[in-house]
Amino acid sequence: MSAAAQRLSGNPGHAAAVRILELRTVRKTYRTLRRDNIVALSPTSLAFEAGEFVSIVGPSGCGKTTLLNITSGLLRPSAGAILFRGSTVDGPTPEISMVFQRPVLLPWRKVIDNVLLPVEVLGLRPAQSFRERAAELLAMLGLTGFAETYPRELSGGMQQRVAIARALIYDSSVLLMDEPFASLDAMTREELNLELLRIWEVTGRTIVFVTHNIPEAVLLSDRVVVMTPRPGKVSAVIPVPLPRPRSLSLLGDPAFGCIVSEVRELLRVRSEVVARAGEA
């Protein structure tokens, strides 16, 4: 049973598996000042189905941000190709939106105008309906009453919510998230995880979510991609066949614990192997 099919029970209305995004033997090397080639990402192939929630976990330096930046078109791969709905992507596209590690809000714009930035840049019309949509998104993210405030008046968690609203204001099919909740406290993080799940269920977007928090990855995802460093590569893809919709009560579920241990074990074993290889 595929991950997407698994989710259908809790999530009616999603179409059957359609491959929306595909990485074909994508590779990235950097040249250092000493002219050595550093392999940031060894040849990697991954495919994402429409409406799927996939997390990428791994220790820092394992190339997960590189992978995400390549997927978004911000970074060119040294080799390989990215296909969106079967056609090659060679740069950023409005079909793929991005939430960064930091909120990256423009401090001189009100919250509502930050959310509407993509609408302005992409020239979407009519402006009034997007304004209403922005207000709805802010309400959905618990930011009612903050539309007319400036980012510096908000807490880190609230700023990140604004960034999520900004990524959702236009109809991209894929949402890439680069450790969006990394800098938040545990409680805010859990709250935002649940909100993200709700938004995902409502909007039916494909979400690729980078994190180094294993329980978070398992709680959210249909599949967890495990990456290991030096050189960065995908070492395993673990399906998460847990029922949806999910809530925090899942955290105490034995099945949930099993998957978390499995992922943790994979990360641990791989890093030991890498460490040993390094010593030899």
Partner 1 sequence: MRTGAVNALYATGTFVVVLLAWQVIVSALHLAAYFIPTPLEILAALVSERVVYAANLLITLWSTLLAFVIATAIAVILGALVSEVLFLRRTVYPLLIALQSMPRIALAPVIIVWFGFGISSKVVLGAFTAFFPIFLNTVHGIATTDRDHLALMRTLRANRWQVFCKVKLPGALPFLLAGANIAIIFAILAVIVGEFLGANRGMGYLIVNESNQMDMAGVFASIFLLSAAGLCFHYGLGFLRRWLLFWAASSEPDADGS
- Looking at beta carbons only, is 98 or 143 nearer to partner 1? 98
Query: What is the full DSSP assignment across the chain?
Result: --HHHHHHTTSTTPPSP-EEEEEEEEEEEEE-TTSPEEEEEEEEEEEEETT-EEEEE--TTSSHHHHHHHHHTSS--SEEEEEETTEE--S--TTEEEE-SS----TTS-HHHHHTHHHHHHT-S-HHHHHHHHHHHHHHTT-TT-TTS-GGGS-HHHHHHHHHHHHHSS--SEEEEESTTTTS-HHHHHHHHHHHHHHHHHH--EEEEEES-HHHHHHH-SEEEEEETTTTEEEEEEE----SS--GGGGG-HHHHHHHHHHHHHHHHHHHHHHHHHH-
- Looking at beta carbons only, is 11 or 149 nearer to partner 1? 149
Taking the complex as a whole, the smallest distance from the CB of residue 276 to partner 1 amounts, in Å, to 37
Taking the complex as a whole, the smallest distance from the CB of residue 162 to partner 1 amounts, in Å, to 12
Taking the complex as a whole, the smallest distance from the CB of residue 121 to partner 1 amounts, in Å, to 4
- Looking at beta carbons only, is 13 or 107 nearer to partner 1? 107
Taking the complex as a whole, the smallest distance from the CB of residue 108 to partner 1 amounts, in Å, to 4
- Looking at beta carbons only, is 70 or 259 nearer to partner 1? 70
Residues near 191 by Cβ (< 8 Å), separated by ≥ 6?
157
Taking the complex as a whole, the smallest distance from the CB of residue 112 to partner 1 amounts, in Å, to 14
- Looking at beta carbons only, is 121 or 258 nearer to partner 1? 121
Taking the complex as a whole, the smallest distance from the CB of residue 36 to partner 1 amounts, in Å, to 24
- Looking at beta carbons only, is 109 or 264 nearer to partner 1? 109
- Give the type of residue at 10: G
Contact set with partner 1 (CB under 8 A): 72-74, 91-94, 96-98, 100, 102, 104, 106-109, 117-118, 120-122, 150-152
